[in-house]
Amino acid sequence: GAGVSQTPSNKVTEKGKYVELRCDPISGHTALYWYRQSLGQGPEFLIYFQGTGAADDSGLPNDRFFAVRPEGSVSTLKIQRTERGDSAVYLCASSTGLAGVGTQYFGPGTRLTVL
Amino acid sequence: AQKVTQAQTEISVVEKEDVTLDCVYETRDTTYYLFWYKQPPSGELVFLIRRNSFDEQNEISGRYSWNFQKSTSSFNFTITASQVVDSAVYFCALTGLNYGGSQGNLIFGKGTKLSVKP
């Protein structure tokens, strides 16, 4: 079956602009996670959804970052007033079952570059 | 706090050599899960294995094997007879169900870059 998909694969924007990154999870997966990976580092957790609600957003770095999952499937990560430090690869993962129990399967990521 | 340490930043081997990637973890959780992911140059994280804290049996899958030892908080990964296609960054990750990781988000190590030369 289809894996996790993310669009766009690459996004270049200017400092101060608004961006949206989209994630399509594996069909039937109720849990969805966003991570951010900087060069040479492991992915870092941003936010977790169980169904439509954000169960844990403790990893969001500040209030410029926001994510939604209105119908419990597709999720959008939104970044306002982008800064150069936001440049990274944004990864989405999905899993079945209870939090922490299901294996997380990752999408190919969106490489965000803020000029 | 939860933490995963992969002390080896980069490893270079010649094809057909065996190589072991080290992973040491810290957690207060009594129930937790450990993972290994592979990230080839294409960038997508590929799931390799998941282990729960109650199962210390070693596992073998083809040329891959994993050694989980709770006594030393380690979950090491060995590739036997390495191949050029094994070249990638390998990440060890941890999630817990009680104190750490909140709702199951993964805590990753910094990764080990493996280069297998022909």
C-alpha to C-alpha distance for A101 and A95, rounded to whole angstroms: 9
Q: How far apart are CA B89 and CA A78, in angstroms?
A: 28
Confidence band for A95, pLDDT divided at 50, 70 and 90: very high
At residue A100 the predicted structure's pLDDT band, cuts being 50, 70 and 90, is low
Give the DSSP letter string of B51-111. EETT----EEETTEEEEEEGGGTEEEEEESS--GGG-EEEEEEEEESSSSSTTTPPEE---
pLDDT tens figures, B17-74: 999 999 999 998 888 899 999 999 988 999 999 998 988 888 899 999 999 999 999 9
- Cβ contact, residue pair B102, A41, below 8 Å: no
Give the three-class secondary structure for A78. strand
Q: Is residue B2 pLDDT above 60, yes or no?
A: yes
Q: Is the pLDDT of residue B104 over 90?
A: no
Distance CA A65, CA A42 (A): 20
pLDDT of residue B105: 84
pLDDT class of A16 with cuts at 50, 70, 90: very high
Say what the pLDDT of residue A54 is: 87
* Mean pLDDT for the stretch of residues A6-12: 97
Q: Of A1-10, B18-27, B94-103, which gets the smallest average pLDDT?
A: B94-103
- Closest-CA residue of B relative to A108 is B44
Query: Among B27, B42, B105, which would you mutate to test the A interface (most chain A Cβ atoms within 10 Å of its Cβ)?
Result: B105
Query: Region A91-95: what's the mean pLDDT?
Result: 95
CB contact under 8 A, B111 and A44: no
Nearest CA in chain A to B97: A100
**pLDDT tops 70 at residue B107:** yes
Question: Mean pLDDT score of chain B, rounded to an integer?
Answer: 92
